[in-house]
């Protein structure tokens, strides 16, 4: 296989037909018809790898300076913030929040990814990750919101300045089609209770270039992955993935136990953890060629809100990334349960989901658990206090504060996820 062939994998008929089927499912209010969920396309399953690389590219800006900014960051498409975002994210009370959205928009992605095909028209936000950076820059939490999560969305103004009315019972991945990145951010703010100061949207062509630029990402596979749809096969053991193999590892669903989107999220988080370990190694951070390659691969496939595209903001984020230890970087999945209202969809699992968001709002890292391992905050088991709640029953499993105390306390849940320092295995 040549380098060019590795860079741009072909699309298959299964991809484009499934894309059309899912767009029909999320049309209108975004509720799927009863029955089996359609297969996610190649385009919509690779964005997890890009999420942390968005932040990695900021390191490249700091490390190799203005040439990277001029050639990569300076040309990124931008969306205006409704309210000016702080230029210095490290000064934000309660920590900074970044929403990273994976869009399956084929515009500008080439015929290889279905651009121009009727079956590939429409836009879904199938990967949604909320990145929280602690106010004291001691930890980073990255929460994946499953694409099939049913939510109510508030009224919002989309990227073109058009008002979009509130909706009820929509799939989270349907919001981008009408609302753009701006409305996805508004919906994520309502879901999490967190103010989101910055947002970015990435497209899929960069994932192969990123894995090639870094020299491949080494992952462990516990049980055989055998996906006839892609096709993709990995035997148990360690594998260094780059190019099309990295793309397929992030895409596979049928090759995993349970064949679910939640299993795929776990796979993506394991890949991200391995990627973070490699990026934060001296070999990568001290290598200008690798850094420039990563920055170029990411930024050529991104749209940023104006606040995030600010060079001062980028430099500040890069400084945070460089000093947060691996064990304090957590990739978590929003706890969900099968929806009673909509077949094939999920809803936030309570009280765990509310307790997880409360922990993040309290500026504490989330406790995550993978197969055979648990990553906990130093104060594991200690209650989390929400200073905005003055007592009373919340209806979400949160108990009132003791007499004489202010705020509400709740036991921090352990949620599905991956710590960046844990050597986990896929398909365990």
Rounded Cα distance between 186 and 194, Å, is 10
Domain-located, residue 401: no
Are the CB atoms for 321 and 358 separated by under 8 Å? no
Domain-located, residue 399: no
Rounded Cα distance between 338 and 150, Å, is 10
The 3-class secondary structure across the chain, one letter per residue, is: CCHHHHHCCCCCHHHHHHHHHHHHHHCCCCCCCCCCCCCCCHHHCCCHHHHHHHHHHHHHHHHHCHHHHHHCHHHCCEECCCCCCCCCHHHCCCCEEEEEEEECCCCCCCHHHCCCCHHHCCCCEEEEEEEEECCCCCCEEEEECCCCEEEEECCEECCCCCEECCEEEEEHHHHHHHHHHHHHHHHHHHHHCCCCCEEEEECCCHHHHHHHHCCCEEEEECCCEEECCCCEEECCEEEEECHHHHHHHHHCCCCCCCCCHHHHHHHHHHHHHHHHHHHCCHHHHCCHHHHHHHHHHHHCCEEEECCCCCHHHHHHHHHHHHHCCHHHEEEEECCEEECCCCCCCEEECCCHHHHHHHHHHCCCCCEEEECCEEECCCCCCCCEEECCCCCCCCCCCCECCCCCCCCEEECCCEEEEEECCCCCEECC
Q: What is the pLDDT of residue 65?
A: 54
Say how many domains are in the chain: 1
The most distant pair of C-alpha atoms in the chain lies apart, rounded to whole Å, by 70
Domain-located, residue 74: yes
* CATH number of residue 268's parent domain: 3.40.630.190
Rounded Cα distance between 304 and 115, Å, is 22
Q: Which domain holds residue 79?
A: 3-386+407-426
pLDDT along the chain (428 residues), means of 10: 34 39 40 32 39 52 54 75 89 93 60 48 80 94 94 96 96 94 97 95 70 86 91 94 85 83 83 82 72 71 83 78 87 95 94 96 89 46 34 32 40 82 82
Q: What is the pLDDT of residue 282?
A: 66
In this prediction the pTM is 0.73
Token pair listed for 385: 């206090």
Rounded Cα distance between 142 and 333, Å, is 8
Q: List CB contacts of 334: < 8 A, sequence separation 6 or more.
A: 143, 144, 145, 146, 149, 348, 353, 356, 415
Domain-located, residue 137: yes
Domain-located, residue 132: yes
Q: What is the pLDDT of residue 411?
A: 62
- pLDDT, tens digit, for every residue of 244-296? 888 788 878 888 887 887 888 888 888 888 888 887 776 776 677 777 777 77
Q: What is the pLDDT of residue 409?
A: 44
Token pair listed for 192: 């999490």
Q: List CB contacts of 11: < 8 A, sequence separation 6 or more.
A: 41, 42, 43, 112, 113, 114, 120
Domain-located, residue 115: yes
Domain-located, residue 226: yes
Alpha-helical (H) ranges within 324-400 are: 352-361
Q: What is the pLDDT of residue 388?
A: 34
Domain-located, residue 392: no
């Amino acid at each position: 296989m040549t380098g060019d062939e590795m860079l741009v994998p072909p699309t298959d008929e299964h991809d484009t037909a499934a894309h059309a089927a899912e767009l029909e499912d999320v049309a209108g209010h975004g509720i799927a018809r009863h029955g089996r969920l359609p297969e996610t396309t190649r385009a919509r399953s690779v964005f997890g790898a890009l999420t942390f690389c968005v932040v990695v590219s900021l390191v490249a800006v700091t490390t190799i300076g203005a040439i990277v900014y001029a050639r990569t960051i300076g040309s990124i498409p931008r969306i205006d913030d409704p309210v000016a975002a702080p230029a210095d994210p490290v000064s934000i009370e309660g920590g900074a929040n970044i929403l990273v959205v994976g869009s399956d928009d084929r515009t500008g992605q080439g015929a290889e990814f279905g651009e121009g095909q009727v079956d590939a028209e429409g836009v879904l936000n199938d990967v949604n990750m909320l990145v929280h950076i602690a106010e004291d820059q001691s930890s980073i939490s990255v929460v994946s919101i499953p694409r099939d999560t049913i939510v109510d969305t508030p009224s919002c103004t989309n990227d073109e300045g058009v008002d979009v009315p509130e909706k009820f019972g929509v799939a989270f991945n349907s919001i981008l089609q009408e609302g753009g990145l701006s409305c996805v951010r508004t919906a994520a703010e309502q879901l999490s209770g967190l103010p989101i100061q910055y947002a970015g949207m990435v497209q899929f062509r960069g994932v192969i270039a990123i894995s090639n630029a870094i020299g491949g990402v080494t992952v462990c596979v516990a049980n055989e992955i055998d996906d006839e749809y892609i096709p993709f096969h990995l035997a148990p053991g360690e594998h260094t993935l780059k190019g099309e193999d990295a793309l397929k590892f992030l895409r596979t669903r049928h090759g995993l136990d349970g064949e679910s989107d939640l299993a795929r999220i776990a796979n993506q988080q394991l890949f991200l953890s391995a990627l973070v370990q490699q990026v934060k190694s001296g070999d990568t951070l001290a290598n200008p060629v690798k850094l420039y390659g990563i920055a170029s691969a990411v930024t050529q496939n991104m749209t940023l809100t104006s606040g995030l595209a600010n060079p001062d903001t980028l430099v500040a984020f890069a400084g945070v990334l460089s000093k947060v230890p691996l064990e304090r970087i957590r990739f978590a999945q929003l706890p969900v349960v099968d929806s009673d209202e909509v077949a094939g969809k999920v809803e936030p699992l309570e009280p765990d989901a509310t307790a997880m968001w409360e922990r993040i709002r309290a500026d504490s890292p989330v406790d995550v658990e993978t197969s055979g391992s648990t990553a906990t905050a130093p104060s594991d088991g200690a209650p989390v206090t929400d200073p905005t709640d003055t007592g009373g029953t919340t209806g979400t499993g949160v108990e009132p504060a003791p007499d004489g105390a202010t705020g509400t306390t709740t036991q921090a849940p352990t949620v599905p996820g991956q710590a960046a320092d844990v050597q986990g295995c896929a398909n365990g």
